[in-house]
Chain A
Amino acid sequence: MNKSINRRDFLKGAGVLAAASALPVSMVELVFADTTQNFSFAYISDAHLQQIKGTKFVNNWDRGLIRAVAETNLLTPKPDFILFGGDLAQLGKKAELDHGAEILSALRGNKVYHVMGEHDYYLDLGQYWETLFGPQYYSFDHKGVHFVVLNSILTYDDWTYKRWPTAEQRMLEMADLDNPNGSPFMVGDKQREWLKQDLAKISKTTPIVVVSHSPLQKIYKNWNFWTDDAEQVQALLRPFNKVTVLYGHVHQIQYNQIGNISFNSVMSTAWPWPYPSTYAQAEQYLPKLTVPMNRADPFFERDATGWQFINMANGNVDMRYNLFSNTSRTVAFNTKTGEPEDTVFQSPDKRIPPQTQY
């Protein structure tokens, strides 16, 4: 293979992961202008490991996480780190979190950063999770990029502390996506204040990546594709030149651009969710930019699930969706339009039937 490899080739073609895995590191780095700002990381999310009884777990969800871990382990050069995007458990149980930690422990030689999901939280309000994975919100710097991890799935204190007779019931009420007894997610005053302080030290030209479980934008309230104080969080991010928000929870491909902020969702390893636009009774705000993912074939249990390999290209994010039993997708930041775009399917005449069906 003698042709020169540019960044676009690196992102498409004969399977970027595989291509990357065979390329000596030096070849990859040659193509970037500023090597200090270019690196990759893997993002696995929404495993929803579900205990049936004792050591028995729902096989289907287990397989998704196991496979994502095995595939991530095949990446060479290795991703600099791995993010787990929340909802490791289905009902916040110790057994489920332990089971998840065990499966993730097979990830070889990489630091794993964790994000809190509502399915991890609402049984014991994150207590056990913290003992396994550390604080619920924090920030770190990596090769010139400032990463902020938020717990965005908090809600009103009345709902959390007063409304439910037991912790189990509170967990169950929040677990069903479409439950009218649920409550809108939010980052909350305390964390926003912390975020303000955290960002105060950061230069406006430093690329910022904010990681949350729920979207820090408003898409569809009834399924909590929504964060109630999204605008207030966005306002704190507005002064920076390059900002990306990465979120889980929605179990589908979404992307958007609001002002200076790019939004990219990540997939679930467990099951896909329908787009809110397919629910006949609802008003919703699916971003116009988003090209829907392919409709799933339920027989192939892994179909429409997957994980992400993310390339930080000069402070912007290029998402490689590695989809099981389906065509992989790449959503990359287009510096010309200033928006994230699908590298193949963005234009309406490039869409294929599974993306336009429901």
Chain B
Amino acid sequence: MHFEQLKFAVLWIVVTGLTGVLSAPAQADEFTQADLNRWQEQYAKVVKDGRELWTSSKLGSNGVACVQCHPNAANTHPETYPKFQKQLGKVAPMWEMINWCIRNPLEGKALAADDYKMIALQAYITEERRGVKLDPGKH
């Protein structure tokens, strides 16, 4: 936001506050309920795909699925990343730990950070942890 725009916004709040009239001028990022619904559906689809992968015996090579140790993605604590991960020897984001699990208990091939599967897995894990406050670095 540019400084000029910021000044305008402050002024607008003061004015509407004084007059009590809600007559906002059109904003660049305005969106409708239909937009919200559609985006929510798209998110839900990715979460659903993530759940499929989570319970799939095909994600790795030995038939083991994430859900076997993590029902409802519990004990994955996405809200604590990034954090020091001793299996990785460094402070790491969650997707690197997901890959650790894919490579080790699942004996599978690691996914690229921007692989759709990786995004879906993270969407599912995070969805199951919704409402929990961020606590990065926590063990």
A residues neighboring B (CB under 8 Å): 48, 50-52, 58-60, 176-179, 222-223, 271-274, 276, 278-282, 295, 297-299, 301, 357-358
A-B contact count (CB 8 A): 68
A175 → chain B, closest Cβ, in Å? 9
How far, in whole Å, are A280 and B132 apart by their CA atoms in the complex? Answer: 7
Say whether A274 contacts B132, CB under 8 Å. Answer: no
Nearest opposing residue in chain A for B55, CB measure:
A176
How far, in whole Å, are A222 and B100 apart by their CA atoms in the complex? Answer: 28
Q: Contact mask B53-71 → A, CB, 8 Å, 1/0?
A: 0010000001111011111
A61 → chain B, closest Cβ, in Å? 9
Say whether B64 contacts A58, CB under 8 Å. Answer: yes
How far, in whole Å, are A298 and B55 apart by their CA atoms in the complex? Answer: 18
Say whether A301 contacts B62, CB under 8 Å. Answer: no
B119 → chain A, closest Cβ, in Å? 21
Known A-B contacts A58-B63, A298-B87, A299-B86; A280 and B71 likewise in contact (beta carbons under 8 Å): no
Cβ contacts under 8 Å, A301 to chain B: 105
Known A-B contacts A50-B64, A299-B87; A178 and B71 likewise in contact (beta carbons under 8 Å): yes
- Grouping DSSP codes into helix (H, G, I), strand (E, B) and loop, the A interface class, with mixed when no group exceeds half, is loop
Known A-B contacts A50-B64, A358-B75; A280 and B86 likewise in contact (beta carbons under 8 Å): no
- Grouping DSSP codes into helix (H, G, I), strand (E, B) and loop, the B interface class, with mixed when no group exceeds half, is loop
B116 → chain A, closest Cβ, in Å? 23
Say whether B55 contacts A280, CB under 8 Å. Answer: no
B49 → chain A, closest Cβ, in Å? 17
Say whether A177 contacts B86, CB under 8 Å. Answer: no
Known A-B contacts A58-B64, A298-B104; A272 and B72 likewise in contact (beta carbons under 8 Å): no
Say whether B71 contacts A223, CB under 8 Å. Answer: yes
Cβ contacts under 8 Å, A281 to chain B: 72, 128, 130-131
Nearest opposing residue in chain B for A272, CB measure:
B69
B88 → chain A, closest Cβ, in Å? 10
A249 → chain B, closest Cβ, in Å? 12
How far, in whole Å, are A291 and B47 apart by their CA atoms in the complex? Answer: 33
14 sampled A-B residue pairs with Cβ under 8 A: A51-B63, A58-B62, A58-B63, A222-B72, A271-B68, A274-B70, A274-B75, A279-B71, A279-B72, A280-B129, A280-B131, A281-B128, A298-B101, A301-B105
B8 → chain A, closest Cβ, in Å? 41
A120 → chain B, closest Cβ, in Å? 16
How far, in whole Å, are A272 and B65 apart by their CA atoms in the complex? Answer: 14
Say whether B71 contacts A274, CB under 8 Å. Answer: yes
Say whether A177 contacts B71, CB under 8 Å. Answer: yes
Say whether B75 contacts A177, CB under 8 Å. Answer: no
How far, in whole Å, are A270 and B95 apart by their CA atoms in the complex? Answer: 25
Cβ contacts under 8 Å, A280 to chain B: 128-132
Candidates B68, B69, B71, B139; contact of A357 at CB < 8 Å: B139
Cβ contacts under 8 Å, B101 to chain A: 298
